[in-house]
Amino acid sequence: NADTKTPVFVGVGCVIVNIILTYIFIQFIGYLGIALAFVIQRIIKNLVLLILIKHKIKINKKAIRGFFLKIMIAGTAFTLMVILLKVFMMNKFETGTLSKASFLALNFTIAGVIYIFGLYLMGVLKTGKNISNQIIKERVV
């Protein structure tokens, strides 16, 4: 018996959270607040869905902690690279819209490559290694 309503309601609630957080964060940190609000909204959504499904499956908490730590390390590297590139390269670009867009594209491409490379180095992206099989031990009927 599939429950399709719960994920939809959680998703709608998280979209509302995302809109509120985006509005708040843009006031303080500019357009980077959009990305931060999205990340926080995704974390909230995944935690809520995990809590709601916890009684249906057995979860390997140790595997989740290890996976979360790896993601946090790679995310921290991504964030630091975005900040460093902004500090050291932003003034090299002109103030025009196209120039700002070019800077953003370059900034997130470089930081994204570092993020993906970090995930690969830590074993998160290795082929043949399915993290969901490690996290979910067995289905409970």
Averaged pLDDT, 64-91: 85
Nearest by Cα to 11 from 40, 37, 49: 49
Cα(first)–Cα(last) distance of the chain, in Å? 11
Distance CA 140, CA 114 (A): 38
Give, for 1, the enclosing helix (H) or strand (E).
none
For 7-65, the DSSP string reads HHHHHHHHHHHHHHHHHHHHHHHTTHHHHHHHHHHHHHHHHHHHHHHTTTEEE-HHHHH
Query: What percent of the chain is predicted at pLDDT more than 70?
Result: 87
Distance between CA atoms of residues 18 and 35, nearest Å: 10
Mean pLDDT value of segment 84-91? 79
State pTM to two decimals. Answer: 0.55
Q: Which amino acid is at 64?
A: I
Q: What is the pLDDT of residues 16-70, one digit of tens each?
A: 999 999 999 998 888 888 998 999 999 999 889 888 887 777 777 788 888 889 8
Q: Are 45 and 14 in contact (CB under 8 A)?
A: yes
Phi, psi of 138 (to 5 degrees): -160, 155
